Amino acid sequence: MGVLDGKVAIVTGSARGIGRATASLLSAQGASVVISDLDGDEAAATASSLAGETAVFAADLTQGDAPDRLVQTAIDAFGRVDIVVNNAGYTVDGVMHKMTDDAFQRMLDIHAVVPFRVLRAAAPHLREPAKAEREQGLEVFRKVVNVSSISGTMGNAGQVNYAAGKMALVGLTKALAKEWGQFKINVNAVAFGSVQTRLTASNQAGNTIEVAGETVTLGIPDPLVGSGAASIPLGREATVEDAAGGIFMLCSPWSDFVHGQVLHVTGGQVGGMTG
């Protein structure tokens, strides 16, 4: 038996990396999971690798009514939504004075607007059951976990767009916690430091994604690869499993009285202990 038996979770950006590790952990703890990603083939491969029930939704969540269709996928497959993890994202780095409007807007769209639209679509499926439970004197907790970053809580040179999007997500989290607390919907965020993913690997490694018909190269310059470990008291960068553990904690029953918080999952990385 798992602590999430009978729960239904949506995890965006869950074909690879932190999202995949999160989906795997939630599934191992009994949740049925909707795997959502740009890459339909990878999403299907991830879904097939999990032992529990899964559904797959492949689309660019910044486009059209994709967030609404994502939530409907969960309802069609499982009839309910209990957990929403807004994890999908990528980076388009650059210094402020050279950054284009498009590069700035893209980060706002994927890191702030998409979580807003996903949660707006999920709202009736989270709130309405809670209203009925409240009338019956029942206390049933549901979970929202938004994935931010210490770039958002502390800022980071070369990432004014990413930092703005991730800090906007923190504001969304705290405001929504005040709106949805009455429905026993825990709304929290995690802020990651350096995690070993495609976004922190070398930008010469050939990792790319297709967004709105444009190829986006992922990663950071070679001299910066692995440099985050020097500022982490625990002595290494996080694995995706480390990151997923923080998300899982906020999805679990042990977080039922944790609300409107930003959990820094950083190994004590500079900034992550004081934000």
90 is catalytic: no
Which tokens sit at 44? 């299907």
Type of residue numbered 191:
A
Which tokens sit at 157? 């040179």
Which candidate, 189, 208, 198, 36, places its Cα nearest to that of 121?
Answer: 36
- Exposure class string for 235-266: b at 16+ Cβ within 10 A, else e: eebbebebbbbbbbbbbbeebeeebbbbbbbb
Residue 208 is inside which H or E element, if any?
A: strand 208-211
Strand partners, 210: 215
Type of residue numbered 139:
E
Residues with Cβ within 8 Å of residue 166, at least 6 apart in sequence: 111, 148, 149, 151, 152, 153, 191
Which candidate, 106, 105, 109, 129, places its Cα nearest to that of 118?
Answer: 109
Which tokens sit at 78? 């499982």
Type of residue numbered 162:
Y
Options 57, 90, 162, 192, the catalytic residue: 162
Catalytic residues: 162
